Chain A
């Protein structure tokens, strides 16, 4: 009884989650086992066909595309984000706040607009091509749009702040006396980094990786705008199937597949930061 009373304030959020996340999710799962007629109307007839289709090589390829996009996005944001986070954490308070402000600034602008911004930069008539042509470095405009790399650039750009902030939090909490202890015991800057800083900021890396990987799997407007449909990703596929393809059951099955992929990542994240080790490290 007491426990129920204690948890009473959590009821609204629980109801909210149940109504707007739980039930729709359940509907998606149910839908994924149904089928449809040629007009896209749902036919209530249980079938695992949708899942069987997922293992079609064409579709497996889409899974692979999305997985590698998310993986490379994670790696690129890590390589870019770690040094930024590391040096930001080392700045004096005033400058640090300013740099963090700069990192967060893009969030104030619609991400869709910022994605369009990349087409202005990378397009045939875009800024980069114009500049390179002007200085006669190239005589034909480079074809930088509508490739896997373009989508990767856009996705990594969009998600890098999450990586930076996650790692920054880890580096910031790092006890500086541990680094001094390492120097004192004979470690140089690099050895100290690889033996002390990196292992102790692993929780931040894992957190950042998760925060970047999961949205990278599902973001579809970036691949739509920058990829032009040349490379098919999960998000686009689901979007296409549910709208133009009029096949909501199949779209649902893919959505479930994507959720499973996300759960796998969360599971790995849980293993990396297992048993509250992070709080002990920092």
Chain B
């Protein structure tokens, strides 16, 4: 069983009058790759800075190996940060940048430092760059040096603040894989901050979804993706159709719900809504992954009848919008032979039995802000 490494207990943080972190509680195990995911301004970077000691906390506690570190200065905490802009020292070359930590803490002799720097450069595959100045490096190279500079201190936790944000798409994808490998190789706990759900889903052992300073859900990528706990997570992760419905009645595992003027049966997929209470809820929210829906010209059981209003070809996928009694549903399908949809076609929309969530409408923590993602 893996050891409990970091324990964040009900921390609160205010900047002036704004309440940035609200009772954030989180446990992180040794060796985990954990991602804090949320929209800009949700407080994820602040959590990271609180762990690093660069921000103080107003209440609560942070324990590392069971001991409180909340009153320790950043230089007394055995955690290191990879900053968003890398923050490499411009007046030092690559070697001196990486050697900065052990030198300033006098934790190694020059001989040992030389050996460690070489090891770190090998780890991030930057051998031979010792004498380069940082401005002579590309974005991806700077990032590797920033990671090496942090890891040489053998931190208990490496904190990464949107480190891929400044890189172009191709390099970003490549570095996602690299980082995940690096984390296993370095055997160090990574706490990674990002607003990019794809990054989070690709790299993490566990994801912490945060919105407005509140932890919304903690879980594995597939858990978060398939079994979103509330409206915010459902809207933020993956592409879903989110529609308000009226719950009519319950039949076995199924519920009948009314969307617009149409009635359909759904089988909520381990949703938070208690199945037995299904019929007691008047209004609820239906969340369906766009790529778990199908369009057909022939009538199929349990489907919605509507008219295509928009067709968009995006590489291997085709994205279609269907108007069902004034409710717009978006369907994403892989291109196939019968995909000659045209605007104005009357079609039937159905979905797989799984992958449907029925969420309570009254949602204190969830608020949709995700349209841009």
Residues of A within 8 A of B (CB): 175, 177-178, 180-188, 191, 195-196, 199-200, 280-281
Contact = CB atoms under 8 A, between A and B. Distances in A.
A232 B107 CA distance: 55
A184 B104 contact: no
12 contacts: A175-B85, A175-B87, A180-B81, A180-B83, A181-B81, A181-B83, A183-B73, A185-B105, A186-B101, A186-B105, A187-B75, A187-B104
B91 interface: yes
A177 B100 CA distance: 15
Contacts of A280: 90, 133, 135
B341 interface: no
A200 B89 CA distance: 9
> Interface residue tally of chain B, by bracket?
20 to 34
Interface string B182-220: 000000000000000000000000000000000000000
Contacts, number: 67
Contacts of B54: 180, 183-184
Contact of B104 (A175, A178, A180, A191): A191
Contact of A178 (B81, B89, B135, B150): B89
Candidate in A183, A184, A188, A281 with the most chain B CB atoms within 10 angstroms: A184
A199 B91 CA distance: 7
Interface string B134-165: 01000000000000011001000000000000
Contacts of A195: 100, 104
Contacts of A182: 89, 100, 104
A187 B54 CA distance: 13
B46 interface: no
Contact of A185 (B91, B104, B133, B135): B104
Contacts of A177: 83-85, 87
Given A195-B104, A280-B135, A184 B90 contact: no
Given A191-B104, A199-B91, A185 B85 contact: no
A187 B88 CA distance: 14
A186 B83 CA distance: 15
A186 B90 contact: no
B36 interface: no
A184 B81 contact: yes
A84 to B, nearest CB: 24
A181 B89 contact: yes
B89 A184 contact: no
Instruction: Report the 8 A-B pairs with minimum CB-CB distance, sorted nearest first.
Output: A186-B105, A181-B87, A185-B101, A177-B87, A183-B74, A187-B104, A186-B75, A184-B81
Nearest to B80: A184
Nearest to B152: A185
A186 B91 CA distance: 18
Contacts of B88: 181
B52 interface: yes
A66 to B, nearest CB: 34
Given A180-B83, A182-B100, 9 more contacts: A177-B87, A182-B89, A183-B74, A184-B74, A184-B80, A185-B80, A185-B104, A185-B149, A186-B107
A280 B92 CA distance: 12
Nearest to B101: A185
A125 B58 CA distance: 57
Contacts of B150: 184-185
Nearest to B105: A186
B90 A185 contact: no
A181 B75 CA distance: 10
Nearest to A176: B87
A132 B168 CA distance: 70
A31 to B, nearest CB: 46
A191 B87 CA distance: 17
B89 A196 contact: yes
A198 B88 CA distance: 16
Contacts of A199: 91
A281 B133 CA distance: 11
Contacts of B104: 182, 185-187, 191, 195
A281 B91 contact: yes
A185 B83 contact: no
Contacts of A200: 90-91
Nearest to A178: B87
Nearest to A202: B91
A51 to B, nearest CB: 42
Contacts of B91: 199-200, 281
Contacts of A183: 53-54, 73-75
A219 B182 CA distance: 63
Nearest to B49: A180
A281 B100 contact: no
B75 A184 contact: yes
B91 to A, nearest CB: 5
Contacts of B81: 180-181, 184
B132 to A, nearest CB: 13
Contacts of B80: 184-185
Contacts of B52: 184
B227 to A, nearest CB: 36
B156 to A, nearest CB: 13
A178 B100 CA distance: 12
Contact of A186 (B87, B133, B135, B153): B153
